[in-house]
Structure 1
């Protein structure tokens, strides 16, 4: 099947999934069906034995009779094994536990074959340097993850972005709802401590999902529409100018500006409390790191 046909069948079977999840899963199916050809080398990980199994595809992608689902299989001749501990740290980080289908680089494949042949891994850093290296690697991994999440947020449409802001406020303990579009500009999301919206402080959020930075006039107009008892939240994935931030700082009503980086970091911190509907818009996976 073509990618479009696979996508159509997948969407019909999973109509509630987000566009991002559909794209990711359809991509996995397409790689299995079309990129993995006869003669291709395949690497699969056994976490119980901490071994990477290396094999060669020995047949076409074939359907398997299954009345409940569309199932395909590929025959693989498994031969060599490479212990994970014999790989370089870079190769271990690249391969991970192989939860998805991805292309393995030539450097990593060379490392795998070296491990198969029993060649020792490169010498590691002294023990007293490992903690520092781990801290640096952890910081680099976290920052890289933040950048990948920001890339994903930029792919959302404006409606999903508004729902994402509402979901973040819910995770922070507020009752939040996306407001219908109408003449009442500047109120994309409204949140309050109670479900009826009668208790203070009430948070009025405006969400701008675009590349250009928000300037002072837009922030000034937003502040002008707030009541004395309101609190303002302005989210702009395109960022803010210095003048816009100055307008927020000197406002008589508390106003918080969140650019893309700040929003994503708040979302990551609150993710454990985010509801399923919001997670479907921007799903994340926790990475465990040795202490």
Structure 2
């Protein structure tokens, strides 16, 4: 039976695993994890020796991650990589290729252990149920996907989307890791909830009005331009009520959860005059080419779904009752143990 694995890689790896066909894990001081004898005790000993400051409770979990990555993932297994930098869920098949390629320049951030992956599908998070997203939101680097396996399989091979039922055999997770996992899930659930509500509760034109309202909550004066379809400037914002004082911000709004490409961004830039700036707002994400364009264009700012949610949370108390009713939220405190 094909196994389904979820893997988390740091946000800074970006699209590189997709473009070069791999998945990777760290723990560089352990060395070549593929050369170790195939038993968990060896991996526990190697971790304890090379990371003496690691909490004893986390060693079995991390050793299990390395052991499974090195010995249990087989050719043909389905790999699920939720990429945080663009809020996409990437699905691929393990090729069976495994290799160790350390990069000493990266130090403790190095991810030297690789498996080959043929990536075959890339889907916005909004394409999946919240329960399925919760399952792949694990704080553990590598984990089995069981309960909602059929939902993910159906995206790449509908004929094999029968529900799989397997006994759980995960290592016990330390309390701190479980608490941090709950905190991360709360954050991701909030992002997913807000984006789903905006996408389902607003038309494209209404999303433009929402964006204008959010700009006003941030201290700008904003107005929505006349209905003209895609391709034009949707909202104009400025710092004074009459619109004479720079900067003038021209805003393009896309109520979509898929990626926005560089051509659409360039189209907005083509509308700018002297002293004007461009802001692109989407519920989804941006292609690498669009992000490169942003880095090379001081007058351009790209706001993706995750960043939009951050602004909404920051200015939530200033939103009109209509929008607070559409996006009902309450403030809570959750454990923050990453730097502990």
Question: Which TM-score applies when normalising by structure 1?
Answer: 0.49
Tell which has more relative contact order, 1 or 2 (C-alpha 8 A, sep 6+).
2
TM (norm. structure 2) is: 0.43
Q: Which structure has the greater CA radius of gyration? A: 1
